[in-house]
Amino acid sequence: MLYVTRHGETTWNAQGLVCGRADIELTDKGKLQAEMLAEKVAKLDIPVTKIIHSPLQRAKDTAQAVATKIQLPMTSDDRLMEMDFGEYDGMPSQETVFQEARTEFAVRFPNGESVLDVYARVTPLLKECLADEENVYLLVCHNALIRVINAYFHPMPNSGFFDFFVDNTELIGFDQ
């Protein structure tokens, strides 16, 4: 079993801006969401034994709320860093130019990454977590990363990939 969650709300999330590598902090609502996530994780039937988070502050703070609640250490892993949207970071997410660019799996965002780059980055971590039969992991990361992780476990056409969205602090469980 592997659990994955998205960080709590940031100001850029609330404003509908593309939030990639910019290190935007949690809003008060995001901090409350992290606390509510911690309560949910503490009540899981299959308990988390290891927490790994993206190095971005919004994910670290979300992971910290959970780690404090269930009294586990946490580890940062660069492979969970949000997709690098390059020049589109901070742009309104509904801008046509961004919406068109994000559908090209193999094309990197200007000064950023492609979906295939992210898949190549996160897949080894998923395999490591799944191979560890003694632990149940919680990965605290970002929407684009979780979209890729979901596609790893549930192959789908491109249209389904882009329709998949994870709310802030939504908790998803994946089996091998």
Unique residue bearing structure tokens 């079993």: 1
Handedness of CA 72, 153, 173, 121 (dihedral sign): positive
Confirm or deny that 13 is annotated as ligand binding: yes
Confirm or deny that 12 is annotated as ligand binding: yes
Q: One of 53, 82, 113, 142 is an active-site residue; which one?
A: 82
Confirm or deny that 10 is annotated as ligand binding: yes
Q: One of 7, 53, 113, 142 is an active-site residue; which one?
A: 7
Confirm or deny that 173 is annotated as ligand binding: no
123, amino acid identity? T
Confirm or deny that 142 is annotated as ligand binding: no
Confirm or deny that 158 is annotated as ligand binding: no
Distance CA 76, CA 145 (A): 15
Q: Is 100 a catalytic residue?
A: no
| Nearest C-alpha neighbor of 53 from the set 109, 117, 106, 8 | 8
Distance CA 139, CA 141 (A): 6
Residue 173 corresponds to which tokens in the numbers above?
A: 């469980």
The per-residue DSSP string of 60-114 comes to HHHHHHHHHHHT--EEE-GGGSPP--GGGTTSBTT-HHHHHHTT-TTSPPTTS--
Confirm or deny that 133 is annotated as ligand binding: no
Confirm or deny that 53 is annotated as ligand binding: no
Confirm or deny that 6 is annotated as ligand binding: yes
Q: Is 142 a catalytic residue?
A: no
Residue 125 corresponds to which tokens in the numbers above?
A: 């971590």
Binding site: residue ranges? 6-13, 58
Binding site for substrate: residue ranges? 6-13, 58
**Would you please indicate which residues are annotated as catalytic (active-site) residues?**
7, 82
